[in-house]
């Protein structure tokens, strides 16, 4: 597995969240008769609540949240990127899974990120250029979802975001700090500098009002004309020409690439856990499979009896991660291009077999990918750029329908390219940087029209009666499946509230090494974890940002945001 602790540092700077905000800005309606929204920024949450208050569906509200986050959380997601959405019907729980992941230009080749000598290009060349930009998918995803599950007119969903961009929003602490930490990326574009930075070259101060007239114009055009304002021939030609002009080598984006983009319905990945059914995204996301594998491998242990204060529990959890991520590295990719044995990876017998490798008192000496039913052999595992800039939001409407939506532009401020008032993604760096490893082709290699593998894990959990009981997801690159699985364990096994589950300590395996969350209860367990065989333990502050809605016995919903964001929401 190619993860390392070096990947954590960029994450800590890349993720951003939220702030309270004064008028004149979108404010929550005085009352919502039914439904709930959890997002990474209260202004985006308010946008979704406003749509619910107008009688909008969960899909309508989720789209409004995504659009508002484009304005107030530009470092993490937006219409310049893509995402994955799960929609569950409130009446019967029927699940729809939509893939809005970005695609590589048709002319992209497997050596896109290599120089003429076959060496990996430097980070600036491969990330901060058109080489990293995939065709954005969020607007196409939103349009596809709205056509199936929308209730309000399309244009109405854009109004909260338009108001924020036109009238202004407050520069909060997290955006300010992210801009400061990413100078050289966030300010690469002159137009972006004019929006977010002062004449002295520094980010606008906390509390300043930020307006983005160009984004208000873009959102208005999209609301009026629909997806044609991004994927129609005229808009596509302009976007493609800009990206192509910033692309130094390999296949450049064309208007045809943009007009051909389509969001796709995918089969969700569902697996049992205890008395529950856990459903997530399938390929090109690895998140649904990884969550299902981690949970399933632990089902043979009495997790509830051990409890979160037990080093043995965290040891078991780390071992399950090691096995799941070994499979992820070898098998996951875009199933339209490579054979992904999804059914085999979540096969109950295979997961039990993998779980049987885990021992309560010792660690696995070596961890390799397994051979699930239908697995293609002779696969390679190559190096990757770290994932980071992402956001998640969960919505439930008056009818009980639910949306779990994770949206991203990849790194903080994406590629740094700025177009129409929003940042363009650098998602293509989620492909493996080299096409083969020791003569074996890598599943996640670059190919024209292909979607890069993702760790995003929007998830919906059902109880034994088929009721939706948890709508959850997270941000943080490869930490996402770990955050989601840990939080599900907190709710299901430990009987926690969603807020308490999201606040559980974080621990993650990176190969044979283990990262534990600095300042958490895990620090006191370090000696015990080492005694269990985890010899290499590091402490750090990984970027954790999860959101959830949990069904209450009363029938209402607990709205939960990762408590680590407390104290970081101010704009003063």
Residues classed as catalytic = 390
Backbone phi, then psi, for 418, in 5-degree steps?
-130, 125
229 near 218, Cβ under 8 Å?
yes
What angle separates helix 42-53 from helix 159-167, to the nearest 10 degrees? 140
Cβ-based burial of 377 (10 A; exposed 0-12, middle 13-18, buried ≥19): exposed
Rounded CA-CA distance 9/181 in Å is 11
Helix or strand holding residue 61 (H, E): helix 58-72
345 near 531, Cβ under 8 Å?
no
Q: Apex CA 49: angle with CA 48 and CA 50, to 5°?
A: 90
Burial annotation 110-133 (CB, 10 A radius, 16+ → b, else e): bbbbbeeeeeebeeeebbbbbbbb
Cβ-based burial of 160 (10 A; exposed 0-12, middle 13-18, buried ≥19): buried
326 near 368, Cβ under 8 Å?
yes
513 near 539, Cβ under 8 Å?
no
Strand partners, 280: 269
Helix or strand holding residue 280 (H, E): strand 276-280
Beta pairing, strands 422-423 & 418-419: antiparallel
Beta carbons within 8 Å of 368's beta carbon, 6+ residues apart: 326
Rounded CA-CA distance 527/87 in Å is 43
């Amino acid at each position: 597995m190619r993860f390392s602790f070096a990947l954590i540092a960029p994450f800590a700077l890349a993720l951003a969240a939220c702030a309270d905000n004064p008028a004149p800005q979108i404010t929550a309606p005085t009352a919502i008769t039914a439904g709930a929204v959890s997002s990474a920024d209260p202004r985006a949450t308010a946008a979704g609540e406003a749509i619910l208050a107008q009688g909008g569906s969960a899909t309508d509200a989720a789209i409004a949240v995504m659009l508002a986050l484009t304005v107030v959380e530009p470092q993490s997601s937006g219409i310049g990127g893509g995402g994955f959405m799960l929609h569950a019907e409130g009446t019967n729980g029927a699940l729809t899974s939509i893939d809005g992941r970005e695609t590589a230009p048709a002319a992209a080749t497997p050596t896109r990120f290599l120089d003429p000598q076959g060496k990996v290009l430097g980070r600036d060349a491969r990330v901060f250029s058109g080489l990293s930009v995939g065709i954005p998918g969020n607007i196409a995803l939103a349009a596809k979802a709205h056509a199936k599950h929308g209730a309000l007119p399309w244009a109405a969903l854009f109004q909260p975001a338009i108001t924020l961009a036109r009238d202004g929003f407050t520069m909060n602490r997290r955006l300010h700090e992210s801009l400061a930490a990413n100078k050289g990326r966030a300010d690469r574009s002159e137009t972006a500098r004019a929006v977010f930075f002062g004449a002295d070259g520094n980010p606008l101060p906390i509390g300043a009002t930020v307006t983005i007239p160009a984004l208000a114009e873009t959102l208005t055009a999209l609301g009026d004309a629909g997806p044609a304002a991004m994927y129609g021939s005229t808009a596509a030609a302009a976007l493609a020409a800009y990206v192509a002009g910033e692309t130094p080598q390999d296949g450049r984006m064309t208007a045809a690439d943009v007009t051909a983009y389509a969001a796709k319905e995918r089969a969700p990945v569902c697996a049992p856990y205890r008395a529950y059914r856990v459903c997530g995204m399938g390929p090109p996301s690895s998140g649904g499979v990884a969550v299902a594998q981690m949970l399933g491998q632990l089902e043979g242990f009495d997790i509830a009896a051990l409890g979160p204060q037990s080093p043995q529990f965290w040891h078991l959890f780390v071992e399950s991660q090691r096995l799941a991520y070994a499979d992820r590295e070898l098998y996951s990719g875009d199933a339209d291009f490579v054979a992904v044995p999804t059914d085999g990876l979540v096969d109950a017998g295979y997961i039990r077999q993998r779980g049987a490798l885990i021992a309560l008192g010792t660690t696995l000496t070596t961890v390799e990918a397994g051979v699930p039913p239908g697995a293609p052999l002779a696969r390679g595992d190559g190096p990757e750029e770290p994932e980071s800039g992402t956001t998640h939001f969960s919505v439930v409407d008056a009818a009980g329908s639910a949306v779990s939506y994770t949206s991203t532009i990849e790194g903080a401020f994406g590629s740094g390219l700025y177009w129409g008032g929003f940042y363009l993604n650098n998602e293509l760096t989620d492909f493996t940087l080299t096409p083969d490893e020791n003569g074996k082709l890598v599943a996640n290699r670059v190919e024209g029209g292909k979607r890069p593998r993702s760790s995003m894990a929007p998830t919906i959990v059902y109880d034994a009666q088929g009721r939706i009981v948890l709508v959850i997801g997270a941000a943080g690159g490869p930490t996402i499946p770990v955050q989601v699985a840990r939080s599900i364990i907190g709710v299901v096994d430990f009987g926690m509230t969603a807020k308490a589950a999201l606040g559980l300590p974080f621990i993650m395996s990176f190969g044979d090494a283990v990262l534990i969350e600095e300042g958490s209860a895990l620090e006191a367990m370090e000696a015990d974890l080492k005694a269990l065989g985890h010899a290499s333990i590091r402490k750090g502050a990984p970027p954790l940002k999860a959101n959830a809605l949990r069904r209450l016995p009363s029938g209402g919903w607990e709205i939960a945001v990762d408590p680590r964001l407390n104290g970081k929401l101010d704009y003063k």
